[in-house]
Amino acid sequence: METSSQLGDHDLAEELLVYFVEHANKECFASCLFICYDLIRPDVALELAWMNDMIEFVFPYLLQFIREYTTKVDELVKDKLKVVQEEKSKEKEEKSLVSQQNMYAQLLPLALPTPPMFGMGVGMGGCF
């Protein structure tokens, strides 16, 4: 079991489970689930246990797997919410910037002096 765990060999770990089931060695089955936890697929462990009346020996493994899985899902949801909030914040900033630019664009013509119109003003000297 330890060698399989150190090698990281999924197939070998699952073959060990099958071996322990075939020899009705329930304690070794449970130990293998613990030692090779990262290598064994939960559907394989549950099926072997169910088909061979070893459910009580697979439950610690399943509980740990469910706990780990829900923690990962919770982290993904948390990260997704953070991304959505950041996107909303950026949209608000962009809208505020556009609104501010529009306000300045409306006020700018009022602040600039208007150029004299042709035919009026200085230099005409009473042409009329």
Residue ranges per structural domain of the chain: 2-103
pLDDT tens digit string along 56-90?
999 999 999 999 999 999 999 999 888 888 888 88
pTM of the entire predicted model: 0.60
Task: Report how far apart the first and last C-alpha atoms of the chain are (Å, whole number).
Answer: 110
